[in-house]
A and B are shown apart, each in its own frame.
Chain A
Amino acid sequence: RLGDASVGSSAETREALLRCSKEYRALMHDCASELMDSAAAATDEPEAAAFLENQSQLLAACQILWHLVEILWVAPRYQSAAAAPQILLELVDWARLHCPQPDRWIAELLESANATDAPELHQRFWDSLYLLVLQGRTVDARNLLSQHSQAGRQQQLKDAMELLNMPKYSFVRDSQSVRKFDVAHCLWQKDVRVRLEAGLFAAHPQLELLVELLAGDEDAFARPEIVGLCDSWYQLLLARLLLTNPTGSLDCLGREAPEAEALYKRDRPSQRDGDGDGLLDGVLVRLLFDGQVGQFLAEAAGCLGSNWWFVAHLADLLHHCLGGEVGGCSGGGFGAIREHFLLEYSHSMLGRAALWQLAVSYLDYCSNYGRHYQPSPHAAAATPQEALLVRVPPESQRKAEQIFAACHARGLLDSANTVARTVARRALDKGCLGNALTWAIRARDPRLVAAIADKFLLGAGGDSAGLARAASADALDCLATSALLSNRMAFLCQYKLFHDRVSAGQLAEAADVAAQLLSSRMIPRRYWLSLLQDCLPLLELRHQAVFTSAQLFDLMHALAELRQADCAPAERLSVVQASLSDALRRAMIDENFHYSSASSSLMELMLACRFSASANSRHRSWLLRRVSMATHSAGAESSDWFRGSAGASSRFLTPFSSWTRVWKLGSTMYSMKPATLYIDRLELIIKSDATQLNGEWTRIKDNGKYESRALSRQSMLILPRIPRNPHTSLRASQNDGFQVVNRRRRDDKTVAAGSERKRQQARRAYTPRWTQEAKRRPMLARTPKWRRSRKFKICVRAASGTLTTAQMKHQSA
């Protein structure tokens, strides 16, 4: 309750603290009463009843001590010198409150007086009178004395009743009032002594003892019958002080305590230190009277055992009242004691699992050793608060939420993550993947998220249906950026997105997701074929080109890698390949496929050729023609296209040695616009790649004739044989291409005839024309002009290794 409230001695603060203290005492009183009631109710369980009764007594004793501390240290007037008499009165009241015998005796006495009409004959009459005087209740004593049967007749009794008008001190913040009271008290006591010395009460020994007490006679206080009436030595001490030195400073408490204690124990030889009723046997009270608060708290902690609550709260109250300057401790010493008790209390609460929140909240107020304390400055050890929070077992989701929130509220993000990780792992072990995922995301733990994604995928198996089933978990729906914690989780989410879009009829978007998944390589390879198979319905839609050619190339790359890795059944791959190549053809026609210097696209086109080589010969020819067109335009515009293409497409070039050779060839011959040459050569390479041929190759001799020789690694540049009649293959390609187009037009009537015509026109631009000259010189017509040029021949020689680069430059010049 006090928390970090301001520490200080301003009147308002002290009043507030006093109010808190009283409320706390009232709570202790209530609890003690309830425990006692419970003990009384538990008649059938004697052990439980005894325990409850003990606890009740303990609480009552704690309340008495608390009250004493409150009077001595918490009350705002503590610092005023004029407050000493008032404090003494309060102390006397305190002793009276916790020693209710006289009231009980008086009640008994008054009841019996009705029968006897002579109460003074009751054995407790004079005892009650003495006790009332010792407690400073002189008015009550006078009233009781007036019940004496001779009260109206005996002068001694009248005198005694008159002497019982003892001056009362009333607290004023003024030292003048203390002096006035002192004078009044001295005069009154002088009057008492005068009458006593005059022997007025000699004939009445009981009355004489009473007056001797009023006179502050030390011997009277030492009389066994008086000492025997007191329950404790401090009751005797307070009575003596009240009647002998009521205006003395509080130092007298400590100074005279040993004497009073010795006096008290003189008649009780069996009672020594520690043999009394525990807390109230005197040791603790003497420490308080001596002003040794720190020692008092330490002793109290020892007496109370595991009940750290008392010392923790009391130390906290005193810390707020007095700051660090408390008796027996100075500077920050008391702060350390307080923190020690708070720590001990919070640790003691860990014994009961239900109290972890309270324990943590107590540590909030231990700034030195609770929240920020590092046991080892060099090691990244957890603070006690962190260690505590991490150790609380999160048995249920709700409790885990509370622990997690408690960590976050205190800025302990590492602990929060640890808790979340623990809960996630427990959920993962139980197979609750949704819960595990929730907590793993909170823990921001990529490895855990990946492990959960693996679990999802493990349940999926390797097939498409299982994968779809795994991705159907709606826990993946709202991951948002959290999915990026792990590649696999991102894949799952994207895969789910793909299916959602297909279900929603957003096919183009779904195709985009699929292509991105495959091109980004975030998807594990074993699921590539599943995804490609999931794409089959989209690929085979004849009335709609769902995939763009660029997306299809991405799919082709993936399929090529799969084929290379040989990790999937060939027949399933073939099915996908056929669909892909068909879809690519349709996509290219739809897009009016045209290549500029987009070198990566060119290489992709080449890859497509490779695909079509083993899939469909007509598609292959058609694509080869596309390569021809693209190569020609690229060669015209950029000299670097092959180098660029190698960089951009190296990932799929690497496995194919044939393509590497093509690249090497191209890099040497880039200036020659070798489109047709390539087409022929590509075709051969593709065929060799497909059929795994290591057969005969030809080498171009210096004289222009071809020499057949075995393929050797030493030959830097090896050219396949240039067909003697390249036009034949070209024409076949053209025809195939037209056939494909025509067939497509039959398939899809919705394609605009205009655009188709344009495409055909564009194609004719690259087709040798059968002019009159061509008819006359067919070979000349069939060979492109650039192919007959000197530059081309030089390049061919260079490529075949019969011409050095220097020679080539020289000849070109």
Chain B
Amino acid sequence: MASKVAAKFVSYRVSQVALASHYTDKEPVVAAGSWDEGPSNRIQLLGYGPKLDAEGSPRLLAVHRCHGDVMCLRFDPIYQNLFVGLGTGELVAMATTAEEEPGSNNGSGERQRPRLLRQLGQGWRPSTDSFGSGAVSALAIRDGWHALAGWESGRLVCCSLAVEVPDGGCSDAATLRPASGCGRESVGLDSCCVTGADFIDQNAACTVNSMGQLKLWDLRTGLGQYDKVLTVAGDPKAMHCARRHPAQPHLVATGASGGCLCLWDLRQEKFPVSIVELDDGHVTQVEFHPVQGDLLFVSTMAGQLYAIRLSDSGGGGSAALTDNPHLTAVLPASQKLPVNSFCLGEDFLCAGTEDELLYAAAGVCL
């Protein structure tokens, strides 16, 4: 599958990884966050060399200490800000480039390579209620400024990063707050833990929860009431992640307990287009290849990271999974503990595991 796979022992359980952006495939920059480390939790910014040079060992560019577990990490693709969801329930935005104004160009039209981690203003959390919101459990980013975040309590918030640059020009005044342009209600409540979220388009988003429901939200009407709810027939299986197709936004892939991978066509009613059971472990993350849309990557709690080729179902250009898809393992077979997260570029893949390893793979296109 991958032409080269390198592993780096990082001495912390990698909870989340995020790739700075696709253009840096030649020299990718990855943010990796730890969890369950108590006060030693951290976010590291790691830079890989071109084609995973010599040992494939990344260089440490920056470190930021966190108060809680790093539950979600997302780079926004435009401004290179890093959005972090913490186990304390706090949502934090961080600048990764050196400009005074986050995301500005350096004059040559080329964006700077992320090389630092600086928190922008204060973290944000939903107003406290009787039972607290729990950890941030889902996070999606849209057009650089908007973030859709879900909490364990089921709370759902559409945030925007508001930068208030004072006269002095210091960008640290940036704050996160519920988005004003995100429909009437920017705060909603799901019935249980929101485990995954993604934007479908400018006006729609989808979330999955631990009850096994895929919910669609119309952001124009706000998060007060979901637009549609889709479920898998039978007893509920908790879903853990959701990702939409890069080119066909009506296609959404979700991963659930019991290694259950579902492909949904949102144009159809109620039930998924395809359901495949990969292995016994829960699906921890699912991602479409950013360029080859028929290539799906799935990581599981059994320590596997598979690449799956989708087949064309023939109807309306929609893709589907065959009953017994060919699973191509990306990581070595010795990996047994869960792959918690992975990020995907055009030709680069980075995966963080429970046994404190950070895998990097080049040449991931089949």
Contact = CB atoms under 8 A, between A and B. Distances in A.
A408 B302 CA distance: 11
B235 A482 contact: yes
Contact of B137 (A27, A397, A438): A397
A263 to B, nearest CB: 43
A473 B36 contact: no
Interface in A474-512: 474-475, 477-482
A809 interface: no
In the complex, which range does the number of interface residues on chain B fall in? 35 or more
Interface stretch (A128-136, A309-317, A426-434, A800-808): A426-434
Contacts of A482: 235-236
Given A398-B135, A409-B280, A474-B229, A438 B87 contact: no
A477 B213 contact: yes
Interface stretch (B117-125, B126-134, B321-329): B126-134
Contacts of A567: none
A477 B238 CA distance: 13
Interface residues of A, number: 35
A395 B15 CA distance: 15
B337 interface: yes
A479 B237 CA distance: 10
B188 interface: no
B235 A435 contact: no
Contacts of A475: 191-192, 211
Interface in A386-401: 395-399, 401
B153 A432 contact: yes
B281 A409 contact: yes
Given A396-B69, A401-B282, A438 B238 contact: yes
Interface in B332-360: 334, 336-338, 354-355
B154 interface: yes
A397 B135 contact: yes
B13 interface: yes
B contacts with A: majority SS:
loop
B213 A434 contact: no
B234 interface: yes
Pick the most buried of A398, A409, A432: most chain B CB atoms within 10 A of its CB.
A398
A700 interface: no
A358 B355 contact: yes
A434 B301 contact: no
B336 A478 contact: no
A246 B66 CA distance: 60
Contacts of B38: 353-354
A402 B301 contact: yes
A contacts with B: majority SS:
helix
Given A441-B236, A481-B235, A357 B354 contact: yes
A60 B213 CA distance: 53
Given A432-B153, A435-B152, A479 B69 contact: no
Contact of A396 (B9, B135, B238, B334): B135
Given A396-B152, A397-B137, A438 B280 contact: no
Interface in B137-178: 137, 152-154
A1 interface: yes
A397 B195 CA distance: 9
A363 to B, nearest CB: 14
A433 B189 CA distance: 12
Contact of B87 (A395, A408, A478, A481): A395
B231 interface: yes
Contact of A397 (B152, B336, B338): B152
B108 to A, nearest CB: 34
B151 to A, nearest CB: 10
Contacts of B13: 354
A27 B7 CA distance: 13
Nearest to B37: A354
B333 to A, nearest CB: 12
B190 interface: yes
Contacts of B37: 354
B213 A396 contact: no
B250 to A, nearest CB: 22
B210 interface: yes
B114 interface: no
B191 A473 contact: yes
17 contacts: A353-B36, A354-B13, A396-B71, A396-B87, A397-B193, A402-B354, A430-B153, A431-B131, A433-B191, A434-B209, A435-B154, A438-B210, A438-B236, A477-B211, A477-B229, A478-B212, A480-B236
Given A399-B36, A405-B338, A409-B302, 11 more contacts: A354-B37, A358-B355, A361-B337, A396-B152, A397-B193, A402-B301, A432-B131, A432-B192, A434-B193, A480-B234, A482-B236
